[in-house]
């Protein structure tokens, strides 16, 4: 369109008219340092209507939906597609139910904060910074870092799958807490470790099946999910070995069982309730009603029962059932055979040595397990 002279430009229809007549023949407005156009001089009302329709997006620095060249998905679209993909991995056994629940939880937080119909291109760095600040008011540094990591995985999915043509811009305000901050936070909470005398008190006071769970966990460096999902075929009480893949990594673990562990597990099996359904038949541990202990929540039954027992014994500090893995790693590390310790823990350090290493002798595993047993019981009468 040919430029018009200043004298030929029309006047505003009324003093409160929000737009000005640009020399190119359109009604325009400068927003955030940039001029935007809304329609030709001959249609002032349509131009104002368009301005009012796009006003909120422009003032917020977003591209109005009407101006987008391609259809941009909403946050609802992203979360639905992302969770469907992860659900397929969960159902095939490639993703744990616990991890899927974590993803579902972070998607709920994102939708609640930004709204289900928010376009992905409308989520700006200042929005992410505000979300991080909101999370920081409620949670500690470790959980905030985990939530940020999972939120980034959700949004990165959109770019990797072609839903948006460029990666999301998170800004400096949506970074995970630094390692220094995390170390200081852990130091403030205290060590996640049981002393031998405390652990003996716990085992002595625990009733079945928690007594068996505690002994098996400290014997073989097991966590909540490990004991609650443990199958009978994984425990050979005759050969005195546990063979069990770590659910988180799939790394196969092999660990010798102590006499003390075998004794309490045999006691438990004699009184083990009848499993409620076919899926629970082979579980080592079932509840009094025959259900599985493997509830995929942050407050699963193993955690709850452990907390009750620790409170009863007045054992304070940053300790829970999973602290048994921390305790095993700490104590077993003093055996001077970290490779064997990693094998029992189910850790893969990613080194070339671990790639080429095909096995570890039973003697090395027995030595590590015995080192931990001596630390726990030694010559104490138990």
Confidence of residue 185 (pLDDT cuts 50, 70, 90): confident
The structural domains of the chain, with segments of one domain joined by +, span 6-67, 75-189, 196-376
- Token code pair at residue 375: 């630390």
pLDDT value for 71: 66
Average pLDDT (211-222) is 96
Residue range 191-204: mean pLDDT, rounded: 93
pLDDT level of residue 358 (50, 70, 90 thresholds): confident
State the CATH class of domain 196-376: mainly alpha
User: In sequence order, which residues have a C-beta less than 8 Å from that of residue 360 and are 6 or more positions away?
Assistant: 339, 340, 343
Between CA 341 and CA 196 the distance in angstroms is 19
Q: Please name the fold of domain 75-189.
A: DNA polymerase; domain 1 (1.10.150)
Instruction: Tell whether pTM > 0.75.
Output: no
29 and 35 Cβ atoms separated by less than 8 Å: yes
Integer Cα distance of 252 and 66 in angstroms: 55
Query: Highest-confidence range of 8-12, 39-43, 244-248, 332-336, by mean pLDDT?
Result: 332-336
pLDDT for residue 251 is more than 90: no
Could you tell me if 230 and 292 are in contact, meaning their C-beta atoms sit under 8 angstroms apart? no
| H or E segment and range at residue 39 | strand 34-40
- Contact 21/9 with Cβ under 8 angstroms? yes
Environment class of residue 55 by beta-carbon count within 10 Å: exposed (0-12), middle (13-18) or buried (19+)? middle
Q: What is the mean pLDDT of residues 1-17?
A: 72
């Amino acid at each position: 369109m040919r430029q018009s002279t200043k004298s030929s430009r029309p006047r505003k229809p009324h003093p409160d008219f929000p737009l000005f007549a640009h020399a190119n023949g359109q009604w325009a407005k400068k927003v955030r340092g940039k001029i935007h156009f809304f329609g030709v001089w001959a249609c002032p009302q349509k131009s104002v209507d368009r301005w009012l329709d796009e006003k909120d997006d422009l003032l917020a620095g977003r591209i109005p939906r009407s101006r987008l060249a391609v259809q941009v998905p909403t946050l609802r679209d992203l979360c639905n597609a992302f969770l469907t993909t992860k659900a397929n991995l969960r159902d095939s056994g490639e993703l744990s139910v616990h991890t899927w629940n974590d993803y579902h939880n972070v998607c709920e937080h994102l939708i609640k904060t930004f709204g289900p119909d928010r376009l992905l291109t409308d989520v700006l760095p200042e929005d992410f910074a505000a979300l991080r600040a909101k999370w920081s008011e409620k949670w500690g540094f470790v959980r905030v870092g985990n939530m940020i990591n999972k939120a980034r995985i959700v949004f990165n999915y959109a770019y990797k799958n072609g839903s948006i043509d460029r990666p999301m811009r998170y800004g400096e305000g949506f970074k995970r807490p630094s390692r220094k901050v995390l170390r200081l936070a852990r130091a403030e909470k205290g060590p996640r470790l049981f002393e031998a005398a405390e652990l003996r008190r716990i085992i002595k006071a625990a009733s079945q099946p928690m007594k068996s769970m505690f002994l098996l966990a400290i014997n073989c460096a097991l966590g909540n999910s490990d004991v609650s999902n443990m199958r009978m075929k994984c425990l050979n009480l005759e050969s005195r070995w546990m063979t069990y893949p770590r659910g988180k990594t799939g790394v196969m673990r092999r660990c010798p069982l102590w006499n003390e562990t075998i004794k309490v597990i045999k006691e438990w099996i004699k009184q083990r309730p009848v499993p409620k359904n076919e899926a629970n038949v082979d579980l080592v541990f079932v509840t009094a009603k025959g259900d599985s202990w493997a509830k995929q929540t942050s407050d699963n039954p193993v955690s709850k029962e452990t907390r009750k027992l620790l409170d009863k014994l007045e054992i304070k500090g940053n300790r829970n059932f999973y602290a048994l893995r921390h305790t095993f790693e700490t104590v077993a590390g003093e055996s001077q055979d970290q490779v064997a310790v990693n094998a029992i823990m189910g850790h893969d350090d990613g080194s070339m040595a671990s790639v080429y290493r095909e096995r570890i002798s039973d003697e090395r595993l027995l030595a590590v397990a015995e080192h931990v047993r001596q630390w726990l019981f030694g010559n104490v009468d138990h």
